[in-house]
Amino acid sequence: MNYKIENGCLLLHTEEGFQAVKQDLYIEDGKIAKIGSFGAGKEEIRSGSLVGGIEKDSRILETGIGKGSGIPEAGMSKGSGVQEAGIEKDYQIIDASNKLIMPGLINMHTHAYMTVMRNYADDVDFDEWLFRRVMPVEDQLPKEAAYWSSLLGCMEMIQTGTTSFVDMHMYHKQSPKAAQQAGMRAFIGRGLVGEDLYQDGFSRFQEALEEKEAYESDLIKFILSPHAIYSCSGKLLSQVAEEAAKRDMQKQIHLSESQAEVDNAIDKYGKTPVKYLSDLGFLDKGTILAHCVQMRQDDLDILRAHQANIVTNPASNAKLGNGFAPICEMAEKGLNICIGTDGACSNNTLNMFREMGLLSIIHKGIAQDSTAAPAQFVIKAATEHAAKALSMEQKLGVIAEQAEADLVFLDLHAASLFPNNNILSSLCYSANGSEVESVMVKGRFVMRNRQMLTIDAERVYYEVDKIVRKCL
Ligand SMILES: [Zn+2]
């Protein structure tokens, strides 16, 4: 289906920064074919300091209230949602009055299968959480349970504006199956652990390759995902690095999540986890490093030298009492910083809007500096930086011609976003995800006017409830 989306405000990123501009959007074959307002001229609404000489208050009224409150244009349905408004040549016309259209958010680190354990292991210490709560449940969770749990995770991500996610899972084929059903874009890795990739870890590595073979598509890609330096031997990590290079695959790993992990690495190897991975030849610009909480100054230099990508998980790291990644220092060093929610068992949501707001506020508090981690940086981290980490610069995380049509439509008349004094602030500090009305991935609506189109929500609730009763 090709679409012409009219009357919406597009969040564009130009050389001057972000601008919310009222322009038409043409979508063809899953890509943004053209951005342009034909006849109506270019209009802006407020986006930080970029108002472009346009009178501010009338701008919001013009883009906000005009269509809904006046006489509907010919052929256009009147209403509050994203409406079909007729056909023009080969395009179905969508009326996006009162909507902000932004690039889909990219959740750079999660474990969708853990959603079933939401609010199951809270207010306990890290060892209790991992070894006595999470792992015993994982051990008895049937494989199909991971599918329904992952699908619930996909549903929550879509409902809160995420179109792509990076996943590490433990159940063969269930996460890709869920992502495929949901119609999301996903970068998925079977968690690898053990001493030797071709002996101890062999069955998991085989599973990783089998999944790739069975599910790789335009939307679903696979990345090699050793769990952590404390659950994988150095030999296995080197083997993974070799396989990734040979197969042209990216790698992800949990790194320097807790002080104990760093202390143990120094005891065992005489170096920090970052230096350890660097010496094993594991770090490069295709490497995605989740957490990076406990960092030393020379760790940042090493990460910079290898151009590795950082994924900060502010809620999970804070909630498990591990601390905060030093993202301000990392940004100063020029590191590529992205955002992830981690799993619902440690967060306890997969809502990227909550994560974005937390990230900024936590770092302003820590730095005792209200200018730290500003909204523009945070929004870029959740979109453009993530696209860069996934080698999809200018294809994902932006509204641009020839980019993928992964789009989120937010209701500018939601109370939490009104008035629209500053769009970037609205998205970073005010939005809670409930403003997301419709979501498109690769030009296909997966949620429209809050209705899930690819997932049978009631069935998911029924199946997940059954699992909870049986396994938790
Ligand atoms: Zn994780």
Same domain, 25 and 91: yes
Same domain, 367 and 342: yes
Q: What's the 110 CA to ligand 1 centre distance in angstroms?
A: 6
Domain of 159?
105-389
Say if residue 348 is preceded by a cis peptide, omega within 30 of 0: yes
Same domain, 43 and 175: no
Same domain, 143 and 198: yes
Q: What's the 227 CA to ligand 1 centre distance in angstroms?
A: 8
User: pLDDT tens digit string along 374-392?
Assistant: 999 999 999 999 999 999 9
Q: What's the 244 CA to ligand 1 centre distance in angstroms?
A: 20
Same domain, 76 and 162: no
Same domain, 172 and 162: yes
| Cβ–Cβ < 8 Å for 106, 387 | yes
pLDDT at 76: 36
| Cβ–Cβ < 8 Å for 4, 11 | no
CATH code, domain with 298 = 3.20.20.140
Residue 61 lies in a domain: yes
Q: What's the 231 CA to ligand 1 centre distance in angstroms?
A: 13
Q: Which of residues 372, 389, 406 is at a domain's end? A: 389
Backbone angles phi, psi at 100, to 5 degrees: -100, 130
Q: What's the 109 CA to ligand 1 centre distance in angstroms?
A: 6
Q: What's the 268 CA to ligand 1 centre distance in angstroms?
A: 23
Residue ranges for the chain with pLDDT beneath 50? 38-79
Same domain, 372 and 417: no
Q: What's the 288 CA to ligand 1 centre distance in angstroms?
A: 12
Q: How many residues does the chain have?
A: 472
Same domain, 96 and 162: no
Name the helix (H) or strand (E) containing 225: strand 225-226
pLDDT at 135: 87
Q: Which of residues 342, 368, 389 is at a domain's end? A: 389
Average model confidence (pLDDT) for the chain? 90
Same domain, 131 and 176: yes
Three-state SS at 105 = strand
Render 288-341 in DSSP notation, one character per residue: EEEE--S--HHHHHHHHHHTPEEEE-HHHHHHTT-----HHHHHHTT-EEEE--
Enter the tokens of residue 307.
Answer: 């151009």
Same domain, 360 and 436: no
Q: What's the 126 CA to ligand 1 centre distance in angstroms?
A: 13
Q: What's the 342 CA to ligand 1 centre distance in angstroms?
A: 5
Distance CA 221, CA 223 (A): 7
Residue 463 lies in a domain: no
Same domain, 350 and 222: yes
pLDDT at 89: 67
Q: What's the 317 CA to ligand 1 centre distance in angstroms?
A: 10
Residue 459 lies in a domain: no
Residue 469 lies in a domain: no
The DSSP bridge pattern shows strands 24-28 and 3-6 to be: antiparallel
Residue 458 lies in a domain: no
Residue 273 lies in a domain: yes
Distance CA 411, CA 67 (A): 14
Q: What's the 290 CA to ligand 1 centre distance in angstroms?
A: 7
| Cβ–Cβ < 8 Å for 80, 68 | yes
Could you give the number of structural domains in the chain? 2
Q: What's the 289 CA to ligand 1 centre distance in angstroms?
A: 10
Distance CA 155, CA 457 (A): 8
Q: What's the 255 CA to ligand 1 centre distance in angstroms?
A: 9
pLDDT at 69: 29
Q: What's the 252 CA to ligand 1 centre distance in angstroms?
A: 10
Say if residue 419 is preceded by a cis peptide, omega within 30 of 0: yes
What Å distances lie between residue 287 and 223, 235, 352, 389, CA to CA?
Answer: 9, 17, 21, 8
pLDDT at 272: 98
Residue 464 lies in a domain: no
Q: What's the 221 CA to ligand 1 centre distance in angstroms?
A: 18
Same domain, 208 and 340: yes
Distance CA 90, CA 378 (A): 37
pLDDT at 200: 85
Residues forming beta bridges with residue 448, ordered by sequence position: 451
Long-range CB contacts (within 8 A, 24+) of 443-447 = 443/1, 443/2, 443/3, 443/27, 443/28, 443/29, 443/30, 443/31, 443/405, 444/1, 444/30, 444/183, 446/158, 446/182, 446/183, 446/184, 447/158, 447/159
Q: What's the 201 CA to ligand 1 centre distance in angstroms?
A: 19
